[in-house]
Structure 1
Amino acid sequence: MFQRLRSLDAAFRILRTFTLCVIAGSLALGAFALYLSHRLITESRQRVYVLAAGQALEAYAAGQKEQLAIETRDHVKTFHQHFFTLDPDEKLIQANLRQAFYLADGSAKQAYDNLKESGYYAGVVAGNISQRIEVDSISVNTTEHPYRFRCVATQRLIRSSHTVRRRLVTQGRLRSVGRSEHNPHGFLIERWTTLENRDIRP
């Protein structure tokens, strides 16, 4: 009788251990399945398909921090291209500057007024000069708002006889504003100043 009870007790212990192992394994498998499904959902959310010319192209969504760095740099680049791209045509100059003024505060208008007062734009038109800018680097500190930036670029003043290259360094800060048709990135350049603007010797 006692022998049978002992064997029943041993069998019960074995069955209990087996049941606990099955439950633990099921929980581990369920947790792993949840982890995998969460990962797949996260990856699928970062995938976007864009239809272009009848073809579906795969695009990847960037993180908010990466997107911020890209947008701030592009805003600064776009502003400088509008402000410093000049041709010997007053209407074209005004059109470019109007676009630039949407992207910056009164500090850009002040710089324009100073250049206009010194006869810079009149000289561009009278001398048939074209001015182009190539942005070499833009550094933006996105850890603290408003975001401080520094832009290094090369200007080319193209005349019929020769081309002058100038090194341009500017700085300022970016404040977040509402997005609009004229300001798609939703930033406004403030306290914009030119630190350096000198000829580059060939």
Structure 2
Amino acid sequence: MFRSLKNIDSAYQQIKMLALLFMLLCFSVSAYAIYAARQTALEAQGRIYVLDQGNLLAAVSHNVKENRPVEAKDHVKRFHELFFTLDPDPKAIEYNVKQALFLADGSAQRAYDNLRESGYYNHLIQANISQDIKVDSVALQTSVYPYYVRCFAQQRIIRASTVTTRRFVSECYLRDVSRSANNPHGFLMERWRAVENIDLRTERR
């Protein structure tokens, strides 16, 4: 009888041990699942987007905040390249300006409307004039939000017989918006305006 009780007690201890091991295993699996889900969420938050020849690509960053100043400057540079790179082709002008307007608020739209109403684009087309821009530097102040930005660039007005180089300076404020295919950096330029636009030299071709 005592042997039977001892066997029952031993079996109970074994079942108890197996139950504890099973509970420990379940806890370990649950903890790992929570950890894996958290890591996946952190990696998703660290995802940024870059453009490669017009295609939106995803790139992983260890810390998106560290890249924001670089992204902000590239956002401003990209806007100016799109807005001021013009060829005597109405479809090319419309496409570039449309892409640029995704990056800015109504201030850029008003500037475009003023240029269009003044006949600026028609003059480029009729006179076969091309225009491009080279951004020299972008000064960014991140101490106050929205971020103040000043862009320094040089424009070239390319005519049949001459090339005119202009000094161009603009300013705006940047605020964060959602990233998209049309706005991969997730910024919006506000209160954009030209501060300086003067001829530096004109050279014969």
Same fold (TM over 0.5): yes
1:63, 1:197 → 2: CA distance? 37
Residue type at the aligned position of 1:104: A
Structure 1 stretches of 4+ moved >4 Å = 59-65
**What is the Cα-based RMSD across aligned positions, in Å?**
2.0
Measured after TM superposition, the shift of residue 201 of structure 1 is: 2.7
2:87 match: secondary structure: coil
1:151, 1:98 → 2: CA distance? 20
Q: Which residue in the other structure is 2:130 paired with? A: 130
1:60, 1:139 → 2: CA distance? 26
1:110 maps onto 2:116 in alignment = no
Structure 2 unpaired stretches of 5+ = 1-42, 44-58
2:189, 2:110 → 1: CA distance? 13
Q: Which residue in the other structure is 1:21 paired with? A: none
Q: Which residue in the other structure is 1:161 paired with? A: 161
2:132, 2:119 → 1: CA distance? 19
Q: Which residue in the other structure is 1:151 paired with? A: 151
Structure 1 unpaired stretches of 5+ = 1-44, 46-58
Alpha carbons of 1:130 and 1:147: their partners in 2 closer, same or farther (altered >3 Å)?
A: same
Deviations 1:138-187 (A, max 9, x none): 01112221111000100001111010001100000011000000000000
> Does structure 2 retain, via aligned residues, the 8 Å contact 1:130–1:159?
yes
Q: Which residue in the other structure is 2:81 paired with? A: 81
Within a 5 Å distance, the mapping from 1:1-202 to structure 2 comes to: 61=61, 63-201=63-201
Measured after TM superposition, the shift of residue 64 of structure 1 is: 4.4
2:201 match: secondary structure: coil
> Does structure 2 retain, via aligned residues, the 8 Å contact 1:168–1:198?
yes
Give percent identity, aligned residues only. 54
1:189, 1:152 → 2: CA distance? 16
> Does structure 2 retain, via aligned residues, the 8 Å contact 1:139–1:151?
yes
2:87, 2:72 → 1: CA distance? 27
Higher relative contact order at CA 8 Å, sep ≥6: structure 1 or structure 2?
A: 2
